[in-house]
Amino acid sequence: MSTATLGDFPYISLPPGYMSNGEPETKRFARFPFWVKAQAHWVEGRFYLVNVYPDEEGEYNPYELLRNLEAQVEQIGGSKVSDEHIPYETVNGWGEEITMGFLKGLGDVYSEDVKVKTYLVRRNDGNIWIHFAQGTTQGGIIVGQEKAFQQTAQLLPASEIKKQLDAVGKVALQVNFATDKTDVLPDSLPQIEQVAALLKDDPSLKLAINGHTDNTGDAAHNQQLSEERAKAVVVLLTGKGIDAARLSAAGFGSARPVADNGTGEGKAKNRRVELVKR
């Protein structure tokens, strides 16, 4: 168990002569499959992604970069736990949540010549995992620190939903779904109950259920996902006795942001379900 004093997350840095192609990416809360002995070990928490290239005056030296990374891992009390190629079919099977959402730090995992090195720093305040994949001209690094899920969605009671609908004709709800899926998580079911209560209290009310995502990943995929999530909310409401004729579902993907997608907080606000009075 490491007790080393850590600096700021992600706890490692690129050596002189190397740089990221564009700004590194951070994720406040996500999940990633770290490859350990022919199996995916899924980690939830915060992440840092960087693709590594030589600066304008240098050349890429795989051995130099590896030695620098491993020295930093050792310094913070970690060790290598796996050094293997990930099968092509396995990577594809993870879907766009990983292949697109973590593209910045994934590295050339599709090449048969590339082995993925996985490092682990065991800590009481959250294990640190590092994915490192490099070829002969560039590399990718993903640092993840385990962190328990903390609910960020706030429950809006039926009275507050009605107030906002009467005032502006729509209201945004922060409904939590399973990652890249349409399943509403248990912590958001009380919010669906409040919407159902409002509809039962006002039999004349008709609502459009509109799904929205942040801009992570493919736009077409996000549009489809947002529509399917909106439909999932409709299914839950009809299951509580609401007439389907009073509801409609549509998805807009990332086309209608309400906050800056350049920050984790902004992305969280953009991932929403809107109720619009019809």
Query: In this structure, is residue 193 part of a structural domain?
Result: yes
Query: In this structure, is residue 10 part of a structural domain?
Result: no
Q: Are 193 and 142 in a shared domain?
A: no
Q: Are 26 and 136 in a shared domain?
A: yes
Peptide bond into 10 cis (omega under 30): yes
Q: Using 50, 70 and 90 to split pLDDT, how confident is the model at 153?
A: low
Query: In this structure, is residue 31 part of a structural domain?
Result: yes
> Pick from 93, 120, 146: which residue ends a domain?
146
Identify the DSSP state of 224: H
In this structure, of 34-38, 183-187, 248-252, 253-257, the range with the lowest mean pLDDT score is 183-187
- Judged against a pLDDT cut of 60, whether residue 148 lies above it is answered with no
Can you tell me the mean pLDDT for 197-220? 93
> Pick from 146, 171, 190: which residue ends a domain?
146
pTM: 0.58
Residue 255, token pair as written in the block:
């086309």
270 touches 261 (CB < 8 A): yes
Give the domain range for residue 31.
18-146
21-68 tens-digit pLDDT: 889 999 988 899 999 989 999 998 999 999 999 987 778 999 999 999
Measure CA 2 to chain center.
27
In this structure, of 56-65, 125-134, 221-230, the range with the lowest mean pLDDT score is 56-65
| Cα–Cα distance measured from residue 214 to residue 207, given in angstroms and rounded to the nearest whole number | 23
Q: Are 179 and 88 in a shared domain?
A: no
82-103 tens-digit pLDDT: 999 999 999 989 988 899 999 9
Long-range contacts of 70-74 (CB under 8 A, 24+ apart): 70/119, 72/11, 72/12, 72/13, 73/12, 73/119, 73/121, 73/130
85 touches 112 (CB < 8 A): yes
